[in-house]
Amino acid sequence: MTGTLTGSNLARMRQGCYRVLAAGFDRPAPDLTERIRSGILALEDLGLGMFSFAPQLRKWDESLESAQPEAVSNEYVRLFGSGMDGALCSLIESQHLGVNLVGDPARYAGRIEDLMRRSGFEAQLDDRPPDHLGVELELASALCDAEANARAGGDAAESWLRWQQELIDVMAMWIPGLASTVGERDKVGVFRTLSQAASAFLIHEHDIVRMLIDSVPGGPE
Amino acid sequence: MKWVACSDRFDWSEIDIEVLDAPGWCDDPVIPEIDEVGFIGCAEDLDKAHLERRLRSEGFDPLGVPLVLLTELDRRSPERIASRVASSGARSTEYVGSGPEHLKPVMPPTVSRRSFLTFRSPTYRSVPHPDDSCAAGDGCRACVDVCPHKALEWSRGAIQSDRIACAGCGRCVSTCPTGAMVNPAWTPAQLQAEVAGLIATASQSIGIRFGCARGARPEPASDWFELIVPCVGMLPPHWVIGPLLMGAGSVSVSACACDMEVDADQRAGEAVAFARSWLDAAGIAAETRIVDEPQEDLPATLGIVGARNPFADDGAAAVAAALGEVLIEGDRSPIGVVTIDEVACTGCEMCSTVCPTGALQAIPGDGVLGIDFDPSLCTACRQCTDRCPEEDAIHLLPTVDSAELAAGQRNLIVLDLAQCVRCGGTVAPQAALARIASALGDDAETLKQITSVCLDCRGTTMVF
């Protein structure tokens, strides 16, 4: 390992991290665990080990390997499924933050929709609101994809990074809190390690995106 | 513990440690698949960032793995190498672990748009972050006050840290009254273990030179060892004295080598000056113990028993206890004496609430409220004086006063409490009510509503 990355590869690696984390918060499906684990393996090939959040992603991978699929499915429903009083740990930002006032949940969702619109994306119709953790992570992944393409074309991708920073600032407001709530309540361990990995990755993203923006050069080619 | 090292420049049979010989290791650092492992390399050959990347890739936490970088001076003496290895091993036993909040990515600077497209992957610099013992919830912001980079902010009872703005100078670590600010690469316990390891293996008196981690430093003299700290500007006076009480013959503080904080040398100079005054006041010749430049002739150890933990949270009090009777004052004193003005104090308890170490305590009694003070717990952090809402009600004298320390906990003030006319409970100190009365002027009705019933009864009682 040389320790040298192209900017495009770094964006691809970050994109992959967002995608596997988003998949981790998906409803459990028969082959989901295998897809996630092969995703993490692919990230290792892209140089995951060089980054500070690698131990947390590896711990998640280990807990996926050792957990019983049925127990994971049941725990997902217990933690994130909506009961009479809402989910034990809501994956929806406005619900997690306890926003109950009329109109406020729409404001939270609208913020993500507005970011999607400005960056040229549109959510496919499903039953998740725009401020769902999975949607936010997938949007971040899409922004990384656009950044990687821009970099591959020789562009510094500053506008993509700025949108990414905006989204990270939103996620940083609630994902660490969600991680600690899930950590306290998860009985199986998979979602505790997953939310810790998401939190660690987000802390890293918060810093690395800011540094990438700060280092966008205005100098000559 | 096994140590990975190459024998290109040194014959390891002369030292009693278990070495896995790896020729050319510095150029291509291979990580063996064993748990308890440390690494020894030559300072001029090893690319530390490259090694850290390798360690991280192999699943190691680089901050927790002992690494000894030998200089030319070290390689001249097997005993010196043994000391370096022992101290590094001792240091690693005090490693507390790190989290993502402690690691700041560092990217090499880009010089053109092309270099931006291909760059070295990030290395990581360890930065401080508060742990669960942080007293920010009670209002303490001692770390915020000393941060020269505005990387820390007090917000809603918590310390927010900006890792990118943090330069890792360490002032918050040495200033934190509760030891809550943790930089996993540089905890006080690690520094203390390193000193203890050096002294335990030395056959004669040694010198300890504090050096700045962020810049190049000249080699010390032959019987001197360097104790690397994040920056010499972080040193409090009792840390400067600490190695002497642990068994070192002399200490020295090198000039700041990084210039990342303009006042680092000034702060280090102030700490050294106060430490010298302290030693002089204790009857110890400071000029031979705390020297400007490492000298070849080292004095014997002080032979003072005690203060084996001068780097701990209560290290200043431990140093004071070991050095005996002194009375010195100065802004850099790590201990203070608090006094309260009986006229100006309203008994709002802000001082005792915000005091992070419990040196100030509110003691409720029968119809009275007392504020007690224990000087042995005071770190002169000034949170009480900074947060007091009244003018000139509380004063802090930064001083090491052995008489005050020996006197122990004492009462500073006793305030009468007003009783609730309904339940007989406590409303507030009379002095606070008098202060409210003076603020309200002649609004007697409001005054009566506020001052005659307690908070519990206020919601259920109409007072007219």
- B391: domain CATH number is 3.30.70.20
Q: What is the pLDDT of residue B111?
A: 53
Q: What is the pLDDT of residue A84?
A: 64
Under 8 Å between Cβ of B177 and B357: yes
* Exposed/middle/buried for residue B20 (C-beta within 10 Å: 0-12, 13-18, 19+): middle
Domain A7-214 has CATH 3.40.50.300: no
Q: What is the pLDDT of residue A1?
A: 44
C-alpha to C-alpha distances, B310 to B134, B247, B298, B322, B338, nearest whole angstrom: 21, 12, 21, 10, 23
A-chain residue closest to B112, CA distance: A219
User: Which of A44, A46, A50, A56 to mutate to probe the B interface, most B CBs <10 Å?
Assistant: A50
* Token code pair at residue A30: 């028969």
The set of residues, in sequence order, having a beta carbon less than 8 Å from that of B54 and lying 6+ positions away, is A1, B29, B31
Chain A residues near residue B101 by CB distance under 8 angstroms:
203
Question: A60 vs chain B: nearest CA distance in angstroms?
Answer: 14
- CA-nearest of B153, B103, B159, B104 to B130 is B159
Q: Do B433 and B363 fall into the same domain?
A: no
Subunit contact B99:A200, Cβ cutoff 8 A: yes
Q: Where are the domains of chain A?
A: 7-214
Dihedral of alpha carbons B266, B272, B278, B281, sign: negative
A6 touches chain B (CB under 8 A): yes
B74 within some domain: yes
Question: A53 vs chain B: nearest CA distance in angstroms?
Answer: 7
Subunit contact A207:B105, Cβ cutoff 8 A: yes
B274 within some domain: no
A220 touches chain B (CB under 8 A): yes
Q: What is the pLDDT of residue A9?
A: 83
Under 8 Å between Cβ of B264 and B233: yes
Q: What is the DSSP code (8-state) at residue A92?
A: B
Q: What is the pLDDT of residue A220?
A: 43
- Angstrom distance (rounded) from CA A57 to CA A218: 35
A71 touches chain B (CB under 8 A): no
Q: What is the pLDDT of residue B456?
A: 83
**pLDDT per residue over A74-84, tens digit each?**
999 999 987 66
Q: Do B87 and B8 fall into the same domain?
A: yes
Q: Do B2 and B88 fall into the same domain?
A: yes
B425 within some domain: yes
Amino acid (1-letter code) at residue A217: P
Under 8 Å between Cβ of B314 and B178: no
Subunit contact A5:B119, Cβ cutoff 8 A: yes
Domain count for chain B, please give it: 3
Q: Do B422 and B411 fall into the same domain?
A: no
User: Which of B98, B104, B119, B161 to mutate to probe the A interface, most A CBs <10 Å?
Assistant: B119
Subunit contact B53:A154, Cβ cutoff 8 A: no
Instruction: Tell me what ipTM this predicted complex has.
Output: 0.84
B3 within some domain: yes
Chain A residues near residue B111 by CB distance under 8 angstroms:
217, 219
User: Which of B28, B54, B118 to mutate to probe the A interface, most A CBs <10 Å?
Assistant: B118
Q: Which of A7, A52, A210 sits opposite B103 (nearest CB)?
A: A52
B361 within some domain: yes
Amino acid (1-letter code) at residue B259: D
Subunit contact A220:B112, Cβ cutoff 8 A: yes
- Residue B123 bridge partners (DSSP): B106
Under 8 Å between Cβ of B395 and B309: no
For residue B88, give its domain range.
Answer: 1-97
Q: What is the pLDDT of residue B112?
A: 55
B323 within some domain: no
Chain A residues near residue B166 by CB distance under 8 angstroms:
none
Question: B97 vs chain A: nearest CA distance in angstroms?
Answer: 12
Q: Do B382 and B454 fall into the same domain?
A: no
Chain B residues near residue A51 by CB distance under 8 angstroms:
56, 121-122
Q: Which of B50, B103, B112 sits opposite A3 (nearest CB)?
A: B50
B113 touches chain A (CB under 8 A): yes
Under 8 Å between Cβ of B206 and B243: no
Q: Do B2 and B93 fall into the same domain?
A: yes
Q: Of B74, B97, B120, which marks where a domain is finished?
A: B97
The pairing of strands B394-401 and B336-340 is antiparallel
- Angstrom distance (rounded) from CA B90 to CA B71: 20
Amino acid (1-letter code) at residue B48: K
The set of residues, in sequence order, having a beta carbon less than 8 Å from that of B263 and lying 6+ positions away, is B148, B233
A-chain residue closest to B110, CA distance: A215
* Exposed/middle/buried for residue A6 (C-beta within 10 Å: 0-12, 13-18, 19+): middle
User: Kindly report the CA angle at B240 between B150 and B293, in degrees rounded to 5?
Assistant: 105
B83's enclosing H/E stretch is: helix B78-93
Cβ pairs A/B, distance under 8 A: 97
Question: A137 vs chain B: nearest CA distance in angstroms?
Answer: 19
- CA-nearest of B321, B349, B345 to B335 is B321
B-chain residue closest to A48, CA distance: B57
Under 8 Å between Cβ of B19 and B6: no
C-alpha to C-alpha distances, B401 to A172, A201, B126, B162, B410, nearest whole angstrom: 47, 50, 37, 38, 15
Dihedral of alpha carbons A77, A79, A81, A84, sign: positive
Please give the average per-residue pLDDT across A113-120, as a whole number.
Answer: 88
- Angstrom distance (rounded) from CA A205 to CA A172: 10
Q: Of B45, B66, B97, which marks where a domain is finished?
A: B97
User: Which of B58, B61, B119, B121 to mutate to probe the A interface, most A CBs <10 Å?
Assistant: B121
In a structure prediction context, what are the per-residue pLDDT tens digits for chain B, which is 464 residues long?
899 988 777 888 888 888 888 888 888 888 888 878 899 998 888 888 889 888 988 888 999 999 999 988 998 889 999 999 999 999 999 999 999 999 999 876 655 555 555 556 788 999 999 999 999 999 999 999 999 999 999 998 999 999 999 999 999 999 999 999 999 999 999 999 999 999 999 888 999 999 999 877 788 888 999 999 999 999 999 999 999 999 999 999 999 888 889 999 999 999 999 999 999 999 999 999 999 999 888 999 998 876 678 999 899 999 999 999 999 999 999 999 999 999 999 999 999 999 999 999 999 999 999 999 999 999 999 999 999 999 999 999 999 999 999 999 999 999 999 998 888 888 999 999 988 888 888 777 777 877 888 888 876 655 54
Chain A residues near residue B151 by CB distance under 8 angstroms:
none
Q: What is the pLDDT of residue A100?
A: 61
Q: Do B425 and B407 fall into the same domain?
A: no
User: Which of B60, B103, B126 to mutate to probe the A interface, most A CBs <10 Å?
Assistant: B103
Pick B336 or A8 by higher pLDDT: B336
Q: Do B80 and B14 fall into the same domain?
A: yes
For chain B, positions 139-178, list CB contacts with chain A under 8 A.
Answer: 163-164
Q: Do B346 and B434 fall into the same domain?
A: no
Q: Do B392 and B361 fall into the same domain?
A: yes
* Token code pair at residue B43: 């300072």
Q: What is the pLDDT of residue B464?
A: 46
- CA-nearest of B50, B68, B55 to B12 is B68
Subunit contact A219:B121, Cβ cutoff 8 A: no
Q: Do B350 and B431 fall into the same domain?
A: no
B165 within some domain: no
Subunit contact A7:B117, Cβ cutoff 8 A: yes
Q: What is the pLDDT of residue A88?
A: 85
User: Kindly report the CA angle at B151 between B146 and B155, in degrees rounded to 5?
Assistant: 90
Please report, for chain A, how many H helices and E strands are present, in that order.
10, 3
Q: What is the pLDDT of residue A219?
A: 45
How many other CB atoms are there within 10 angstroms of residue B157's CB atom?
Answer: 12
Chain B residues near residue A211 by CB distance under 8 angstroms:
105, 107, 122, 164
Strand segments (E) across B341-423: 360-364, 368-373, 394-401, 410-419
- Tokens 């922004």 correspond to A143
DSSP H helices in A25-68 = 32-45, 54-66
A106's enclosing H/E stretch is: helix A104-119
- Angstrom distance (rounded) from CA A86 to CA A89: 8
* Token code pair at residue B187: 């905890």
* Token code pair at residue B384: 């009480």
Provide the mean pLDDT of chain A: 87
